[in-house]
A and B are shown apart, each in its own frame.
Chain A
Amino acid sequence: DIQMTQSPSSLPASLGDRVTITCRASQDIGNYLRWFQQKPGKSPRLMIYGATNLAAGVPSRFSGSRSGSDYSLTINSLESEDMAIYYCLQHNEYPLTFGSGTKLEIK
């Protein structure tokens, strides 16, 4: 199975900050990487697909990038509504595997 190592697990940040979350894939997954945002009591919301593409309705302060087997989600100018848990997902092969999640919280 492909392991997705996500870091950090917790990320205290201030409003207006620029933050980056990273997932490292244990095998080649190409660009079959998605990022999800999950708020308490809600289902995950697709933010980024194809490693770098913004999903419909997602604010432009969110962006995705790739460097080799490292995939990153960056949020520019953090807003209060961005406080949530973020997960990466590889869907290059089955079984699909998620990162362990990053809890973004106000410092």
Chain B
Amino acid sequence: EVQLQQSGPEVGRPGSSVKISCKASGYTFTDYVMNWVKQSPGQGLEWIGWIDPEYGSTDYAEKFKKKATLTADTSSNTAYIQLSSLTSEDTATYFCARDVGFWGPGTMVTVSS
């Protein structure tokens, strides 16, 4: 059974960084790209970017190129997203999604001083 287990809610201070994890199981981690999607409170879905875990190659939506960094650890079958220089605009739920077909449960990030 495919599972994507995401880390728990985060609270970050303005200007700081947070790193969210997405642990995959039930399939070969390197066979699928992992996408990340942002959903601000009460809003729609925004694609952040993808990472190919096998090669470490990445691609980002323009607005997230200076905000998000995607990495993957094939030894633990875990993908990560780091969000830097946090502002209130980063308060949102972040989803990992295997091939944008199977989604993790989401991780809520709250930016607050």
On A, residues with C-beta under 8 Å from B are 34, 36, 42-46, 49, 55, 87, 89, 91, 94-101
Given A87-B44, A87-B45: 15 more A-B contacts, CB < 8 Å? A43-B104, A44-B45, A44-B95, A44-B97, A46-B101, A46-B102, A89-B45, A89-B100, A94-B59, A96-B47, A96-B100, A98-B44, A98-B45, A98-B47, A99-B44
Would you mind naming 8 contact pairs between A and B with Cβ atoms under 8 Å apart? Answer: A36-B45, A43-B106, A44-B45, A44-B97, A45-B103, A46-B101, A94-B61, A95-B62
Judge whether A97 and B47 touch: CB under 8 Å. yes
Which of chain A's residues have a CB closer than 8 A to the CB of B105? 42-43
Partner of B35, one of A42, A45, A96, A101: A96
Complexed CA–CA distance, A101 and B39 (Å): 12
Judge whether A43 and B103 touch: CB under 8 Å. yes
Q: How many residues of B contact A (CB 8 A)?
A: 18
Complexed CA–CA distance, A44 and B45 (Å): 9
Which of chain A's residues have a CB closer than 8 A to the CB of B59? 94
Judge whether A100 and B44 touch: CB under 8 Å. yes
With most chain A CB atoms within 10 A of its CB, the pick from B35, B100, B102, B105 is B100
Complexed CA–CA distance, A96 and B37 (Å): 10
A-B residue pairs, 3 tightest by C-beta: A43-B103, A96-B47, A95-B61
Judge whether B101 and A49 touch: CB under 8 Å. yes
B46 at the interface (CB under 8 A from A): yes
Looking at chain A's contact residues, is the secondary structure mostly helix, strand, loop, or mixed?
loop
On B, residues with C-beta under 8 Å from A are 35, 44-47, 50, 59, 61-62, 95, 97, 100-106
Which of chain B's residues have a CB closer than 8 A to the CB of A43? 95, 103-106
Known: A43-B95, A43-B104, A89-B100. A95 touches B45 (CB 8 A): no
Complexed CA–CA distance, A101 and B101 (Å): 17
Which of chain B's residues have a CB closer than 8 A to the CB of A36? 45
